[in-house]
Amino acid sequence: MNPGNRNFIVLAVVLTLLASLACQTLSVPPTATPEPTETPLPQSTNTATATQTPSSTPEPTNTTAPTPAPVGQPVSNSEYEVDVVKVRKLESVYLSKVLVWKPKPGYLFLELGVQVTN
């Protein structure tokens, strides 16, 4: 069989299937539109709603908030000691010679040198 004839036969079968499917969807009867229902009106427009009274909010307790440590001063707990040894603000980050990340307006990139001791 000639390849050109084979392509023609496949194309004819596909077009016949598409036409058959299109005719079947057109022959489906439309669905009936539902009847509108009446929405009941409120009995009175002057009905006041009750406002909740505020609950008693507990007073804040005194806690010791952590304070930031300056660069070069180690901070430790029972498990770790963390020391920020270097901070540098970057205008952009070069991922390769072609790819460069620039921060969005209002944002910035920081390079941190951190030493963590267990």
Domain residue ranges in the chain: 75-117
**CB proximity list for 86: less than 8 A, separation 6 or greater:** 71, 111, 112, 113
Predicted TM-score (pTM) of this structure: 0.38
- Contact between 21 and 28 (Cβ < 8 Å): no
Each residue's pLDDT, cut to its tens digit, for the chain (118 residues) gives 555 666 667 667 666 766 666 655 555 566 777 777 777 766 655 566 677 777 777 777 777 777 788 888 999 888 999 999 999 999 898 888 889 989 999 999 999 999 999 8
Cα–Cα distance measured from residue 12 to residue 27, given in angstroms and rounded to the nearest whole number: 23
